[in-house]
A and B are shown apart, each in its own frame.
Chain A
């Protein structure tokens, strides 16, 4: 070790240490107060859009870092919590801190992907903060790509596909398709009226269960209860549970636990709605 130090001039060692220091300022121009205010506003907005629409905590943090440093900040400290984001940006001796509450708005992977990509494009295409603001406005107003009736049909078909994977025959497929399509419609209508997500899940599972119970009552198909099990699968909280697993494994334990518990309660709501429907129809399981 000493051998190594003696063979190099001391200036060399200094420059290596400088590069690895947590707050690099490689002669970067220092941002003025107004620019720094704008940059923190943009980063907190970008983070909010991602956390709101189903990004995992690590991706939210790295995207904020990319965006902030690309726009000229020397450093950012980011704290992602389950329903809020706190960011401190600094440049030279100036620093700004901002806290933003983030209500969960449901999964929209176009927004997650758009913001994540924007943070990379800032460096690649040399966008300035005015471009970034325009882009964030564009991304947040894209809206749904797919017609709502197309979604109803395709989600119905997806649940029908599940019944086939579980070994059902054609009548089971038809019953599953009809009941989960109607259930999807109910879910859209309730979501539009801002009902509580747990209540939406419960009611949707109830509707799906009522309709799928007909297969059991009339004995349609080779294994009628498969229609019951398949028709509620449109409600499976896939994104929250997968995000929960990633957050827990990557050290964002609080975010992970919160999302996991939300996913668990949603699953219990599915079970409860289905049970209510089956009790009402006098139908028993597999």
Chain B
């Protein structure tokens, strides 16, 4: 019963993140023929993270794994459609952006500044959100860059 629920959640997740990736792909004016790849990268990346989190993996580690998968996928798509991999990497990374954590961090910091007597609890919450935002952003960046660094190496030409 729990497994079916989790599957439904992951599918729902894939649909919404596919839509998010599609919207941003239009914004960045990607070539029309690459749209299926962009939607696939967005949907699969975020759905994989949600699936991992269902199995108890933390959000930061899950983001790193999912972003690495997106990185591999973009290299594959880039070969298939003869485009730079950045197109799919960006589309795949966008749905994983930690919008709520960034918002919470900002609100928390503001509350410290505006409160008459600053509260240590609010400060702690704000710092936790800020650190989570930073870690998730770093995981996205590292994850989607790493496959390229590992598998697209060249011997330096000038010695």
Q: Please judge, given known A-B contacts A165-B13, A226-B100, whether A154 and B32 are in contact too, CB under 8 Å.
A: no
- The reply to whether the CB of A134 lies closer than 8 angstroms to some CB of chain B is no
Task: Say whether A161 contacts B31, CB under 8 Å.
Answer: no
Given contacts A166-B99, A238-B90, contact A155 B31 (CB under 8 A): no
Q: CB of B29 within 8 A of chain A? A: yes
Please report the total number of A residues contacting B with Cβ < 8 Å. Answer: 57
Most buried by B among A108, A233, A271: A233
Of the A-B pairs whose beta carbons lie under 8 Å apart in the complex, a sample of 11, sorted by A's number, is A109-B86, A154-B23, A157-B23, A161-B95, A162-B95, A165-B17, A241-B141, A274-B103, A284-B107, A285-B106, A286-B100
Residues of A whose CB lies within 8 Å of any CB of B are 20, 22, 54-56, 59, 107-110, 112-114, 116-117, 120, 144-146, 150-151, 154-162, 164-166, 225-226, 228-230, 233-234, 236, 238-239, 241-243, 245-246, 249-250, 267, 271, 274-275, 284-286
Which residues of B pack against A, CB within 8 Å?
A: 13, 16-17, 19-24, 26-32, 34, 46, 82-84, 86-87, 89-90, 93-95, 97, 99-100, 102-104, 106-107, 110-111, 137, 140-142, 144-145, 148-149, 157-159
> Could you tell me if A275 and B106 are in contact, using CB atoms closer than 8 angstroms?
yes
Knowing A59-B84, A161-B17, A242-B86, the reply to whether A154 touches B26 (Cβ < 8 A) is yes
CB-CB under 8 A from A242, the residues of chain B are: 86, 89-90, 93, 140-141, 144
**Cα–Cα distance between A274 and B140 once the two chains are bound (Å):** 24
B32: A residues at CB distance < 8 A: 145
Chain A residues whose C-beta falls within 8 Å of the C-beta of B26 in the assembled complex? 146, 150-151, 154-155
User: In the complex, how many angstroms separate the beta carbon of A25 from the nearest chain B beta carbon?
Assistant: 14
Q: Is the CB of A271 within 8 A of B86?
A: no
Contact in complex: A238, B24 (CB < 8 Å):
yes
Residues of A within 8 A of B23 (CB): 154-159, 161, 234
Task: State the CA gap A66–B145 with chains docked (Å).
Answer: 22
User: For B157, what are the chain A residues with a Cβ–Cβ distance below 8 Å?
Assistant: 22
Bound complex: CA A20 to CA B46 (Å) = 44
